[in-house]
Structure 1
């Protein structure tokens, strides 16, 4: 269980706590409060703590406070709270504020008049309540995603009580980390610790992402599957590709794949959407697209390709079908591929393809002639169009498109 530091600072009764540095990282998760009694904290914390410094049991001069800032950031505490105004620490030295800001460590000032017992009680109570709400949210989401609920009407009532707007159209994203090689490269104990830590970091990142993304909700089913519910958007694929890039930084040496469902009109269709997202995830884990994502709406051909165990056969097919259209010596080496993709998307309608690409019709005609010349195929040949459509589907999943 955890709360974002910014959520804690907004708790009723904690209004007098003031952020002095590291305000850009108030989304850090607080797992519990810890009052530092010793000279240092490095050996007493494990990460995620909101550390309180009073100066009662140990002198807290500038040098010691700077050391606490350094150690706290190194071990991953959520933030550092310094009590001021009493007998022990009159004010936070400017050098300490400057260093915390430089490191990005949230540094908070608490007046001695605000009793520590009150602060820790408020935080502890909020953590317990948050855990209860979070457990209830995951429970109702899990029921709707698996179809294991006694009554859809009651499920909707519970969701409304928990402030979950689940009857809006959404698409589902299934996410999973890959364990490939983890237990081969590390001893079992170390691998298990790494696995659990990465799972927790992934969960934290997804929750932060959902808080910053209107309409997005996350859920974790029993096991290792994470689920996102996201509203439909024109740039959804690009948004999810960026999320995948962020999550790779969290995953470290592990890979991560994502599967996207078609649109679920309301929560009554979540079970079907989850099934679609799982199928797309399986294909993504096999084909490993550059964006990390496979869309169920494209799954017909992709499921056939998934059955080909030798990836080189797929790459050879793409190269033989459209590889000649990549003009490496030009400023836009993939222009002909984009043109072919637009033509296929518009069922061969050159006027609509030109409009899609923002090109003059004459420019499109010149590109069409060049496509036929370089490929040695006719755009009127239905077999070539079929092969090209499959090849372009695969190409859109490769790094080549992203590197243009």
Structure 2
């Protein structure tokens, strides 16, 4: 586990520290502590720091503290600690508290009488201890993901000692920020690196917080440019990942992020295979750029063929030609024919099962079949049309049209 703001505030000996703002982000990870000695902090932090402000070496008036909050928020620090009392900072202005709350930046007040040497020692010791546990847990998972471990029995024994729940089926998801090359083309190297590291830290923090709320969660693994999730079996995995993706879009800014989902694995011995599947799905997602950001390995067969088409407009044109005439824009539900066609194909043309799947009357399905064949000029008995429609629907499910329909 990582050490969070909440865990730091709960450390024995730090009861005198009090949270003044940013309670909704107490799960932010703290990488290390940093005492700010300069007027500003933007040039001196890279994200994830718990920044301490004493006022000893630089005057800290209201305007300066407001700037520190703004700079800290923009730089992705974990939290800001302001020492009050004594002859330096007497109190934290209400405007500073309000700005920190607005930004969601954890703002902590520390009495000046609580010595910095004690605070930094307690936090540093806890960080080292937690880092050791985290390193061991990540080491086990990294070995299982690479397939390079002494024995499965040893890996399981270590996992049990470190309380890693390896038993049970898992879904592996690989995530990656895209367009990194474009970032360095459009910005100076220093600025591009700062944006990249800040965004990566924001993504990891978001994943860590999201992951902690799950049952039998394993740590988020960072392997090269990949973020790897190992999720306990869940029925609504794609719906949950869709919600996760929407949340991640708020922190990635102009850098797109994509996800690859592997088929379910029953045992930790198969994590390496799952990672390979997720990588393949991720490559297709980056190529086809689905609206949901996700590609499922189970759908990869046809999608890999589509990925080989260099001109995306060819795929879009094929979808429009196959399905476009079935979109009835003047009706209350313009995509009802496409949804019916999709259900029919999934039920192998069985109209009764299709009606049950869509929760409509059998006669309604028959009427929609007639409209489908009328608009498309094709017969559902034609195997070529069914094949083309299946491919077009696979792409359609990953496009803006589906998102607009859900909205």
Pairwise same-fold verdict (TM > 0.5): yes
Partner SS state of residue 403, structure 1: helix
Query: d(CA) in 2 for partners of 1:305 and 1:104?
Result: 42
Indicate the residue corresponding to 1:149 in structure 2.
149
Indicate the residue corresponding to 1:175 in structure 2.
175
Task: Answer whether contact 1:142 1:221 (CA < 8 A) is retained.
Answer: no
Could you state the TM-score of these two structures normalised by the residue count of structure 2? 0.88
Could you state the TM-score of these two structures normalised by the residue count of structure 1? 0.89
Structure 2, unpaired ranges of 5+:
none
Indicate the residue corresponding to 1:165 in structure 2.
165
Structure 2 counterparts to residues 96-107 of structure 1, below 5 A:
96-107=96-107
Indicate the residue corresponding to 1:19 in structure 2.
19
Deviations 1:264-292 (A, max 9, x none): 11201111211211221222222221111
CA 1:304–1:60 in structure 2 vs 1: closer, same or farther (change >3 Å)? closer
Cα deviation for residue 153 of structure 1 reads 0.7
Partner SS state of residue 132, structure 1: helix
Matched, 1:120 2:120: yes
Query: d(CA) in 1 for partners of 2:227 and 2:65?
Result: 40
Task: Answer whether contact 1:79 1:107 (CA < 8 A) is retained.
Answer: yes
Task: Answer whether contact 1:141 1:219 (CA < 8 A) is retained.
Answer: no
Deviations 1:365-391 (A, max 9, x none): 221221111112222333322221121
Task: Answer whether contact 2:18 2:108 (CA < 8 A) is retained.
Answer: yes
Indicate the residue corresponding to 1:352 in structure 2.
353
Partner SS state of residue 401, structure 2: helix
Cα deviation for residue 363 of structure 1 reads 1.8
After the TM superposition, which of the residue ranges 173-182 and 65-74 deviates more from structure 2? Answer: 65-74
CA 1:101–1:361 in structure 2 vs 1: closer, same or farther (change >3 Å)? same
Matched, 1:390 2:380: no
Task: Answer whether contact 2:2 2:134 (CA < 8 A) is retained.
Answer: no
Query: d(CA) in 2 for partners of 1:40 and 1:224?
Result: 31
Indicate the residue corresponding to 1:109 in structure 2.
109
Structure 2 counterparts to residues 212-251 of structure 1, below 5 A:
212-220=213-221, 222-251=223-252
Between Structure 1 and Structure 2, how many residues are aligned?
Answer: 404
Indicate the residue corresponding to 2:371 in structure 1.
370
Query: d(CA) in 1 for partners of 2:371 and 2:236?
Result: 31
Query: d(CA) in 1 for partners of 2:95 and 2:150?
Result: 60
Task: Answer whether contact 1:142 1:219 (CA < 8 A) is retained.
Answer: no
Matched, 1:133 2:120: no
Partner SS state of residue 166, structure 1: coil
Structure 1, unpaired ranges of 5+:
none
Indicate the residue corresponding to 2:267 in structure 1.
266
Query: d(CA) in 1 for partners of 2:349 and 2:54?
Result: 73
Task: Answer whether contact 1:180 1:254 (CA < 8 A) is retained.
Answer: no
RMSD across aligned positions (CA): 2.7
Task: Answer whether contact 1:2 1:32 (CA < 8 A) is retained.
Answer: no
Deviations 1:311-346 (A, max 9, x none): 233222222222211112222211111111111111
